[in-house]
Amino acid sequence: MTDWSKLRDACGAAGHVPALLDRFEADASGVWSELMDHLCPQLDTVFSASFAALPRLADLALSCGGEDRRWVLLAAGAIMACAPSGDDVFEVFSAPIAELHRLTDQCLREAEDAENYVSLLQSLLSFEGVEIWDRCLEGLQTGEYEVDCPHCGVDMFIVIDEADCFSATDDYALREVEKTPLRPSTPEELEGLAKRLHDRALADGQQLVAGGLPYLFGRAACPDCETVFSVADRVSAGQMY
């Protein structure tokens, strides 16, 4: 039995968390932001109560469906994205994490749009302890990443959009700028996690996501100094700071 009074959340003692989880069960979309404010503020900080909530979140995900299940899985995924790979939380909470992974895998097969699909895919990776990419696939939703050149250090946009894929050092959304086309990997060049994600997206019928992954795991050229670099490496490097 969890003694919540001995645990902490973002506001201090966590004795109120079970009641918050009850309200989350009754109104997942309406209470999600409040729950995250307590258990995973800014989606990058966790507390002892955050991980203690995983068994309850797994039970909620199992007992509900549709949009409610998605909100539960996203909450648990955000928490697990803050757990370092190899952390003992994966052992202590192995059963609820396995259940959350199973349900996320199922939801991915049923996702109707790219935005929900990418969010759930990040949650799936978080339950597996895959670092960096349990947070950094969101650019496939928004259509852009902000990185710096590994040679000259200039800030640039990497745009991965259905209509156009390019790098630029000026704000392309405000005016016409010089665009340098990205250099996607071929499907045969993808390997490891990149290949797995690409194959999964294709199998799930997510053509937009599958189409963006070769660019994310491809190469770009700096418009200023013309240095060619790995897009994924620069996105990963941005998470190290």
Q: With the C-alpha atoms ordered 224, 164, 114, 98, is the resulting torsion angle positive or negative?
A: negative
pLDDT for 174 equals: 84
- The C-alpha atoms of residue 28 and residue 202 are separated, in whole angstroms, by 30
- The C-alpha atoms of residue 178 and residue 160 are separated, in whole angstroms, by 16
Q: Which of 5-19, 39-53, 85-99, 119-133 has the lowest mean pLDDT?
A: 85-99
pLDDT digits (tens, 9 = 90+) for 107-126: 999 998 999 999 999 999 99
Instruction: Output DSSP code: residue 52.
Output: H
Q: Report whether pLDDT(183) > 70.
A: yes
| Enclosing H/E stretch for 63 | helix 54-63
pLDDT digits (tens, 9 = 90+) for 63-107: 998 999 999 999 999 999 999 877 899 999 999 999 999 999 999
Torsion, Cα 85 123 149 214, to 10 degrees, reads 110
Q: What is the mean pLDDT of residues 191-203?
A: 98
Q: Which of 3-12, 80-89, 197-206 has the lowest mean pLDDT?
A: 80-89
Q: Report whether pLDDT(41) > 90.
A: yes
51 HSE (CA, 13 A, CB side): 20
CA distances from 148 to 21, 156, 169, 215, 238 (A): 41, 6, 9, 17, 8
Closest to 158 (Cα-Cα) out of 217, 201, 106: 217
Q: Report whether pLDDT(52) > 90.
A: yes
Torsion, Cα 69 56 85 158, to 10 degrees, reads 30
* 125 class by beta-carbon count within 10 Å (0-12 exposed, 13-18 middle, 19+ buried): buried
Are the CB atoms for 143 and 133 separated by under 8 Å? no
Q: Exposure pattern of 85-121 as b/e (b: 16+ CB <10 Å)? A: eeeebbeebeebbebbbebbeebbeebeebebbbbbb
